[in-house]
Structure 1
Amino acid sequence: MSILTFKGGVHPYDGKELSKDIPTRQIYPDGEVVIPVAQHIGAPAKPIVNVGDRVLVGQKIAEANGFVSANIHSSVSGTVKKIEQRLVPNGSKVLSVVIENDEQYEKFEYEKPDDNLSREEKIELIKDCGVVGLGGACFPTHVKLSPKEIDKIDYVIVNAAECEPYITADYRRLKEQPKEVIEGLKIVLSLFENAQGVIAVENNKKDVIEELSKLTENEPKISVAELKTKYPQGSERHIIYAVTKRKINSKMLPADAGCIVDNVDTIYNIYNAVKFHKPLTERIVTVSGDGINTPSNFVVPIGTSHAKLVKEAGELKDGVVKLISGGPMMGQAMFSLDVPVIKGSSALLAFLHDDVADATMTNCLNCGKCASVCPENLICAKLAQAAAADDMETFLKYHGMECIECGTCNYICPANRNITQSVRTMKRKVIAARKKG
């Protein structure tokens, strides 16, 4: 099996040994759960419950409000206390359904689907169950599975790279439910008659590659691809290139390259939706970092407070200076643990040192290291200079909109420049200008 990759990227310390061998453990929230109605790209869902209503596990509490939107379901049984704005991990406030958990976990009963479902029925189940991309983007899955030209899709790629340091949630899913993931892939393949399925895994997970290869050896439409361990190998564009050698840019979708790409846990939840009509109400979250007493992998009901995760992981060590929701490369710093786990919450990381805050920024050295590692082959320093000068013309000339904001340039920069942040801000300005104009 050849090792697949792309040009560029970096090799940060991955920290996965802290939690990779810790089996998942189910935890439950204390007291109320806070379930935001916007946990996905697109329009926020519209609440369909009222204060005082009793709800059950899996019951729909907010309905998709447009084509690019997703249903939201309760993760507990209990009483709706409030419908109000609440903080989410990125620090913004989102309309949320606040439920007092009665700790009974009484389930809403759905009719089990038939075995012989049409393509449309399968996609409708995925939509009804609120499945979204769980690799971080949270794009509604039923939309992704509905490209204009389904006959041109010839690859379905299961993104099992998990290239962000410290996070082991997808690894544990593949260790503990590999057969279910494979069945989920078969369901997606049934939607695209001309497609081959590829489970793409970084080669720091040799045990998973070996097990998946054994389980799929008699599956003619499924193969396992071994990816080089490198960040950002799990980027949608770069996993497509590694597996197929096809390229896409910011103006294209994976479907334009004949590909559908879904995260491991997304595939697992497709299986649950189509096989059992089971809504997405929980996910695996890694709690790790050198500031956590007991690094762990938890199965967490959506809406559970991050403070509960810390409690279950043995609390924070003394001297923690940084908390991150997600991975250290693309995650977001947190200023409070009193925020809920949402569909896109893959990890909570705690650190005793903040390398970014402690670093001294100097002038650009024009060393070119940022360009050498950029997975999009951009001249990152030029983009940052254009952004600092508010020079939109030069920014676009150097293809700034192709930046995927992965942070490799920041990581490698010996001058500790905030290149990614500058480019991100300029991209937002360009998008705003285009909308006006």
Structure 2
Amino acid sequence: MLSKIFKFNGGVHPPENKLESTGRPIQKLGIPDQLVLPLRQHIGNLPKLRVQAGDHVLKGQLLAEAEGTISAAVHAPTSGTIVSIEEQLIPHPSGLPDVSITLKTDGQDQWLPHQAIDWQQLAPADLAKSLRESGIVGLGGAAFPTQVKLRPASGPGLKYLIVNGAECEPYITCDDLLMRERADEIVKGIEIAQHLLKAENCIVGIEDNKPEAERAMREACAKSSLKITVAVVPTLYPSGDARRLTALVTGIEVPSGKRSTDVGVQVFNVATLLSVYRYLTFGETTTSRIVTVTGNVRNPGNYEVLLGTPVEFLLEAAGGALSDTNGLIMGGPMMGFQLPAAKVPVIKATNCIIASAPRLFPEPPPAMPCIRCARCADACPVSLQPQELYWFSRAKNLEKARDYQLFDCIECGCCSYVCPSDIPLVQYYRFAKSEIIAQDKAKEAANLARERNEFRLSRIEREKQERAAKHAQKAAGAKADAAPADDAKKAAIQAAMARAQAQKTEVTPQNTENLSPKVQAEIAEADARRAEAEGASAVDAANQEQQEG
């Protein structure tokens, strides 16, 4: 155990409601007749389809491969036939349908041939490529593609590898049961992550309301060749947030706008590292996960269920929802969202299904005016000013909200939980964030259009200048070619005139001495006419010669 646990600002301690689902071991559910696998199961780009309707697939077979840097593959959770690829209702806050693969199961659960991966001997680039094909994402609820966070360190490693077993949201107990029952496998996953990231210190953070999980993890860590510390932190929501847990066990605050890796820290959920171990040790891709089913059901518990299983199938396994159930929540009551229907499938981000009822989640009273009591500021774990963000968001003063670090808000709901005026503060923050994102996208599109137009105008001007330069060059060349031709023409004229003069000399009349003035005048007049005619003939001959030349 660490000698010192640090603190973070704020936090709340709502009723835990965890004991109801921890009385039984994890139950493994059967195979439903049909599985629906949305492509949108993670943060980042949608994967690219690799199958089509009518294909028969085996368990673990690639259905859609990761596309781009941040993406995750989707694999067949069991064997069967692809019956359709179309938009279907998915578990998402929007309540909108999205592209999904429908798999008709054959009940055989036949695996695609797979084998262990020698990760200790594999080159870092090959290992990164292999993890990209695993389909593993953060199973604590964030669903961030794990291969991005597990890129092998090329230089000095991280200072801290933190394993998140806090599970601070009320009702959720899937990680608690996982640590109790599969601690040895989780520790082997920690060893793999430490090898890849070259982390100097490995710390497992667990809230103090999970003594059995703490004991199991401590015993498993003692068997490891690594020095893995188990840190027991106070039960205080949202201690399971990655940045809050980092602050609790290391005292390191991740600065605004920075990532945990910028301060030498990487955080993984316990279920995520278990999946990494199963993939590298046995070649098993992500086909199932543990889900807590609790709330207004007859038999709350934790179930290992195939991805794509309808939520209603889970509810039946838990004895069915009670008659006064008025909705279903995916995730915890603080940060979860209402499901649009019971037929939506379990996805990689589904860690908990809560059947809600008026006695569990009564309708909130009408919101009253803010009394500026500052309880929200006291409870904010990110040390923001929620009341100011509320006013700016409500007034659509988005730039001011941005200046007050709106995007540092993790939407944990602590402010709404303690508000005596029952103001749904988080809803205002989500609205403001969506408006700012929409404005930024519109501005980016306008900037891109302007840049394209400026590039087009500069291209037109450049082409105009290039044409003018070509015309000038062509004209200069023509002038240069014309100059020798003029010189040749002049020389030809002079030569012709010289020949005419010679001819004139040769035909000069004889016996012209002692002539009368009258006769001399007539001779001079005839000579002038002859010279004029000969000069014209010489010019014509020179032109003809030039043309022929």
Whether TM-score is above 0.5 comes out as: yes
Judge conservation of contact 2:311–2:346 (CA < 8 Å) in 1.
Answer: yes
Aligned ranges for residues 137-176 of structure 1 at < 5 Å?
A: 137-146=142-151, 151-176=156-181
> Which of 365, 375, 378 is 1:359 aligned to?
365
Please report how far the alpha carbon of residue 273 of structure 1 lies from its aligned counterpart in structure 2 after TM superposition. Answer: 1.1
* Larger mean Cα displacement after TM superposition, 67-76 or 394-403: 394-403
Equivalent in the alignment of 1:197: 202
Superposition map of 1:396-407 within 5 A: 396-407=402-413
Q: Is the alpha carbon distance of 1:89 and 1:312 closer, same or farther for their aligned partners in structure 2, counting shifts above 3 Å?
A: same
Q: In structure 2, what is the Cα distance between the partners aligned to 1:312 and 1:44?
A: 31
Instruction: State the match for 1:342 in structure 2.
Output: 347
1:181 paired to 2:186: yes
Amino acid at match of 1:393: E
* Inter-CA distance 210–112: structure 2 relative to 1 (3 Å threshold): closer
Match of 1:267 in 2: 273
C-alpha displacement of 1:356: 5.9
- State the partner residue of 2:283: 277
The equivalences for 1:89-104 within 5 A come to 89-90=91-92, 91-104=95-108
Larger displacement relative to structure 2 (240-249 or 312-321): 240-249
Match of 2:127 in 1: 122
Q: State the distance in 2 between where 1:383 and 1:352 align.
A: 31
Instruction: Identify which of 425, 428, 437 aligns with 2:434.
Output: 428
Q: Quick check: 62-71 or 203-212, which moved more?
A: 203-212
The reply to whether residue 214 of structure 1 matches residue 216 of structure 2 is no
- Measured in 2, the distance between the counterparts of 1:166 and 1:227 equals 18
Partner residue of 1:24? 26
Aligned to 2:503: none
Q: Which amino acid aligns with 1:390?
A: K
Which protein is richer in strand relative to its size? Answer: 1
The answer to whether the 8 A contact 1:147-1:255 is kept is no
Compared with structure 1, are the counterparts of its residues 4 and 212 closer, same or farther at alpha carbon in structure 2 (3 Å cutoff)? farther
- What CA distance in whole angstroms lies between the structure 2 residues aligned with 1:390 and 1:232? 28
Contact kept in structure 2, 1:283 and 1:299, CA below 8 Å: yes
Report if the CA contact (8 A) 1:74-1:281 is conserved. Answer: yes
- Does the alignment pair 1:395 with 2:401? yes
Q: Identify unmatched segments of 5+ residues in structure 1.
A: none
CA deviation string 1:394-418 (max 9, x = no partner) = 2123221210111111111111101
Give the match for residue 8 of structure 1: 10
Once residues 408 and 147 of structure 1 are traced to their aligned partners in structure 2, the CA distance between those partners, rounded to angstroms, is 36
- In structure 2, relative to structure 1, the CA distance for the partners of 1:214 and 1:147 (3 Å cut) is closer
Within 2, Cα distance between the matches of 1:152 and 1:125? 21
Amino acid at match of 2:108: Q
Other structure's SS at 2:63 match: strand
| Structure 1 runs (4+) greater than 4 angstroms displaced | 147-150
1:63-111 Cα deviation digits (max 9, x unpaired): 1111111110011111100000111112222211101011111111113
- Which stretch of structure 1 is more off in the superposition, 3-12 or 293-302? 3-12
Of 81, 88, 91, 2:83 maps to 81
Instruction: Rate the CA distance shift 1:309–1:57 in 2: closer, same or farther, 3 A.
Output: same
Distance 1:319 1:194, change over 3 A: closer
Contact 1:5 1:227 in 2 (8 A): no
The number of residue pairs the alignment matches comes to 436
CA RMSD of aligned residues (A): 1.7
Report how far residue 31 of structure 1 moved.
1.6
Answer whether contact 2:6 2:251 (CA < 8 A) is retained.
Answer: no
Separation (CA, whole Å) in 1 of partners of 2:219 and 2:153: 35
Distance 1:424 1:249, change over 3 A: farther
1:311 maps to which of 309, 316, 319: 316
Which consecutive unaligned segments of at least 5 residues does structure 2 have? 445-549
Contact 2:153–2:196 under 8 Å retained in 1: no
Separation in structure 2 between the aligned mates of residue 97 and residue 223 of structure 1, nearest angstrom = 42
Does the CA contact (< 8 Å) of 1:56 and 1:106 recur in 2? yes
- Deviations 1:155-208 (CA, angstroms, capped at 9, x unpaired): 111110100100110011101100000000000000122432111111101222
> Matches of 1:39 and 1:56 in 2, distance apart?
20
* 3-state SS, counterpart of residue 171 of structure 1: helix
Q: Quick check: 89-98 or 63-72, which moved more?
A: 89-98
Distance 1:83 1:254, change over 3 A: same
Q: C-alpha distance in 1, partners of 2:126/2:420? A: 53
Letter in 2 for 1:244: T
Q: Distance in 2 between matches of 1:425 and 1:348?
A: 25
Q: Describe the shift of the 1:113–1:37 C-alpha distance in structure 2 as closer, same or farther (beyond 3 A).
A: same
Select the structure that is richer in helix. 2
1:3 Cα deviation after fit: 4.3
- 3-state SS of the aligned residue for 1:40? coil
Q: Which 10-residue stretch deviates more, 345-354 or 132-141?
A: 345-354
Q: Take 1:249 and 1:419, find their aligned partners in 2: how far apart are those partners?
A: 24
Determine what percentage of the aligned residue pairs are the same residue: 36
**Is the 8 Å Cα contact of residues 324 and 348 (structure 1) preserved in structure 2?**
yes
- Cα distance change on mapping 1:359 and 1:242 into 2, 3 Å: same
Provide Cα deviations, 1:11-66, integer angstroms capped at 9, x if missing partner: 00010000123211111242210011121111001110111000111111011111
TM-score normalised by structure 1 residue count: 0.96
Structure 2 counterpart of 1:49: 51
TM-score, length basis structure 2: 0.77
Cα distance in structure 1, aligned partners of 2:256 and 2:335: 18
